[in-house]
Each structure stands twice: as structure tokens, then as C-alpha cells.
Structure 1
């Protein structure tokens, strides 16, 4: 059986979902696929490149949203959060891939958010930073949310009553603050 890049990404995504990012190693992936670790390097130059491909797989459901800039920002960020939550350690993996510049899908998302910020009136030299700031919020919020879910699943008692509330409502509140900040920044010309 010939190994295809798609097969490697499928197996890596399954390992991520079943065991988490800490157990997603090239050796384990090679064992899972019944190949030598060297066979993986035929498709991916290094682990970072593989994680970027997995990140892109996670981000595939994040699509363009139509509407004014506010609707687009909140819609894309909601889709991003949902995509991250749909995979064990999804936020951590995507965040690491984004930081390493390995995710084409995340680059496209930042570009769409930059366009929305520009439409909102953010100066061109700040529009990408506005888009990245929103992405950083979603990644951070969701990484924290996933960590809390893992603690809860393990039966740990974490003394923070705010987490007994609706996570979706907390996420929307924070995102609303950022969207309002973009609008205010645009009005003041700051």
C-alpha cells in the first residue's frame, strides 16, 4: 500500500483526537501507519510542517461569512472556536502552527479578518494587527476552555465559579469587546 500525504494527515488527526498533542509524535504516527519514521519525511520535512497540515485540516470548516464587517468577524471567530473545540488540543496545535507560520488556512483567516478591519475603518497599517488580535483572543480563550474541559473530565476541582457559566456567552462577550474596540478605534482615527 502506498502512503499518501492525506493518509498521514488523517492518521495524525486521529492520534490528536484520541491522545492529545503530547502523544502526537512522528514515531507514534509511523507505528500507527505501519511504516518507518523516515517514510513520513517523504511527505513532510519536519514535525512542524506536519502539524501545520493538521492545523489546516482542523481549520477547514472555517468558511467565508457574508455580511457587514461585524457579522464577518463574529461569524468567522465563532466558526474558528467551533473548529478548535472539535479536536482534542485543537487550540494548542493550531496556535503552535500559527506561531511557526505553518498554517495556510490561518493565514487566509487573518487576511479575511484584516479585510474586515479595513472595512471597519482601521488604518491599513493596523488592520492586520487588528485581525491577529482577534485571532489571539479566540486561540487563547479556546485553549483555556479546552484545558478546563480536560480538568473537568479528569474529575479535578477547579475553584473558579465563572466557569460554571455558559462558555459560549463568555466567548461572545469577549469577542464583542474586541469588535466594539475595533469600531471605536476606527471612529477616533487612533
Structure 2
């Protein structure tokens, strides 16, 4: 039986807070149960295992920002969605790793992919190209954020020479925007080549 008053949402929200505070490597179901003031079995009532819980955490992370305007051209929509996903990820520690592991196991929702797909569906692409392009953009976002988060962690540990790199330092934002612009230009180019054939 679940502990009285302990909901699935309570467990996931507390897990996310614990990861934000201590990081994913130190996150355990036992520590989460202690923070909630329950036995671990109360958590397993809501989630069959740790990875299922992390899938719910990933969904919460990606729910942090709403979709952009459907009235914009597809190129702007893709750039906007990519930036919104990045912003949502950067609000939480180790978020890229959590989302990637969840995707690799086929768990959780595909909210980010759905949003990127919807943005690309406004463009002149086939269904297959739309699906592939959405995956490419999402992989770029996750890879870029993963690098940003790793770099920040190493800076906190003093493992890198140089100044402290902040999550939102200007060069990272500029690099991210450049990368997304490059991907969008590449997609536009592919479409132009196909229309000439």
C-alpha cells in the first residue's frame, strides 16, 4: 500500500529536487525514500524501478517550457523549440543525461520530439524527412547541453584550467544558436536539392 498522501507526482518532484541538489550519480531510491520520510516500498508502489522514475523526471524536465507560435515560419519554429528545450534542460542538473538514458530505453513521453516534429511539419518535408530532422535537432540539443553541464561540473571540481564557465555564458549561447542555424540551413538546402531533382 502507498503511504497516505504520497502521490506519484510527489515522488517525481522530490526526486527531481534531490537530483538538482546532489546530482544523478548520488541519487538512490533509498535516499529519496529517506527524504520523503517513507520506506522504499512506498516509492515502488508508484514506480516499478528507478529508471521508470527517472523517465517521469525526464518528462517533468521537458515540460518546463511551452511550445512556440504556430504562426511563425518553420525555420523560426524549429529554432524557437530547440532553444526552449535547451532552456528547460539547463534549469536542472544532469538533465541531458537523464533524458538521453530515458530515450535510449524507450521510456517516458516523446514530448520534445513531438514539438520539434510539429515545427518541421510546417515545412516542405516528407513525413520521413520530418521525423529524421526532428531527431537530428533533438540530438544536437541534448549533446550540446550535455557538454555544457559536464563542463560546469568539471569547473566546480577544479578539474579544468581557466575561469569558471557558467551555464548561460555568452559563448555557449552563441555556439548553440550557430549550431541550430546550421542545422536549419542544412535542412533548407536538402529541401531545395530535392525540389530541383
Between the aligned partners of 1:120 and 1:131, the Cα distance in structure 2 is: 12
Taking only aligned residues, the RMSD between alpha carbons, in angstroms, comes to 2.2
Q: TM-score, normalised by structure 1?
A: 0.90
* 1:31 correspondence with 2:42: no
Aligned to 2:187: 182
Q: TM-score, normalised by structure 2?
A: 0.87
Tell me if structure 2 keeps the 8 A contact 1:120–1:183. no
2:92 to 53, 63, 87: 87
Aligned to 1:41: 44
Aligned to 1:166: 171
Range with bigger deviation, 61-70 or 168-177 = 61-70
Aligned to 1:9: 12
Tell me if structure 1 keeps the 8 A contact 2:67–2:81. yes
Give unmatched runs, 5+ long, in structure 2: none
- Given the superposition, is the C-alpha separation of residues 186 and 118 from structure 1 closer, same or farther in structure 2, using an over 3 Å criterion? farther
Deviations 1:111-144, CA, capped at 9 Å, x for gaps = 2322332332222122111101100000000001
Tell me if structure 1 keeps the 8 A contact 2:62–2:111. no
- Given the superposition, is the C-alpha separation of residues 86 and 165 from structure 1 closer, same or farther in structure 2, using an over 3 Å criterion? closer
Tell me if structure 1 keeps the 8 A contact 2:62–2:112. no
Q: How many residues align?
A: 187
Give unmatched runs, 5+ long, in structure 1: none
